[in-house]
Amino acid sequence: NAGVTQTPKFRILKIGQSMTLQCAQDMNHNYMYWYRQDPGMGLKLIYYSVGAGITDKGEVPNGYNVSRSTTEDFPLRLELAAPSQTSVYFCASKTGSGNTIYFGEGSWLTVV
């Protein structure tokens, strides 16, 4: 049971570099999400998608971009990495009708 798969698990970036966090789900879920979690804080929604070709901003979208070309994949792009983007990133998905969200294992990103 793969569920939600995120890569890479750990990454160190230099300020100004770009990278893409990959996310794939094999549950045929319409809804997909990207969250970040800073130490001692709850999860903050970066972007979400309600289906292929449709994306929308969450609470903290600045500095990020997403695309949803297929139901399965929802990559998160950091264009110009900044130290404020040091965080743990979680990708998640759910069906259109339910409230239960299924999470990936997380990606630890450090920007130095």
Residues of this chain that bind another protein (CB under 8 A): 4, 31, 33, 40-45, 48, 50, 58-59, 90, 92, 96-106
CB of 69 to another protein, least distance (A): 21
| Maximum C-alpha span of the chain | 41
CA dihedral angle for residue 83, residue 90, residue 73, residue 78, rounded to 10 degrees: -10
Q: Which residues pair with 94 in a beta bridge?
A: 31
CB of 2 to another protein, least distance (A): 13
Distance of CA 101 to the CA centre of its chain: 13
Q: Which is nearer to another protein, 14 or 96 (CB)?
A: 96
CB of 5 to another protein, least distance (A): 11
